[in-house]
Amino acid sequence: AAVNGGETFKSIANQVQDKMTAAGYEPVHAKHPGEVLGHRAIKTPRLPFQARLRGFDAVSLGWFKLKDGLAGRGLGRQSPLWNTQEASDHRAHDGLWLVEPHAGRGPVGAKWEEILVIENAKARWLDDMPPHVRQWSQISSGAEYRPAYE
């Protein structure tokens, strides 16, 4: 709704962080490289080796850092990162976006990821009923708890 209403990625990321904090959770995704709530899906080359940097694919991390840096300087297209930084202070642009909030409280945390499709500035979830939403729906309707993969 926020993307379709024309809100900026920065504004949406700030709202998510504010809601998490108000509910007593820490927005742990802000500790992720790039402080991302989400990022654009990219295709990476198949290399005979997989370089890792702090546990992340170094090729992807480098590409995101470069593109975000250029966008922050007003060069090139908008940032492929979705966060609370100035480079994300723009409306959504077309592509596949991996939206992955991380919430934490004390030593416990949770992360989930959904794919948001943005076409012609309109957003929709790739799957309206992913496994975890289906599971929550079962629980809220009083059905017996079952693993989400069933």
Do residues 92 and 37 make contact, with C-beta atoms less than 8 angstroms apart?
no
65-112 pLDDT tens trace: 777 777 777 776 778 888 998 888 888 889 999 999 999 999 999 888
Residue 46 belongs to what domain range? 9-140
Non-local (6+) Cβ contacts of 9 within 8 A are 37, 79, 82, 83, 88, 89, 90, 91, 92
The whole-number pLDDT of residue 146 equals 63
Q: Is residue 43 part of a domain?
A: yes
Query: In whole angstroms, what is the distance from residue 44 CA to residue 20 CA?
Result: 32
Q: Is residue 3 part of a domain?
A: no
Q: Is residue 1 part of a domain?
A: no
The whole-number pLDDT of residue 149 equals 57
Q: Is residue 148 part of a domain?
A: no
The pLDDT of residue 148 is above 60: no
The whole-number pLDDT of residue 2 equals 92
Q: pLDDT-based confidence at 137, cuts 50/70/90? A: confident
The whole-number pLDDT of residue 133 equals 81
Give the global pTM. 0.78
9-68 pLDDT tens trace: 999 999 999 999 999 999 998 887 778 899 888 777 777 777 776 667 776 767 667 777
The whole-number pLDDT of residue 147 equals 64
Q: Is residue 113 part of a domain?
A: yes
Query: In whole angstroms, what is the distance from residue 109 CA to residue 20 CA?
Result: 12
Q: Is residue 76 part of a domain?
A: yes
Q: Is residue 74 part of a domain?
A: yes
CA distance to 17, 26, 36, 47, 52, per residue, from 57 (Å): 26, 25, 15, 11, 5
User: How many domains does one find in the chain?
Assistant: 1
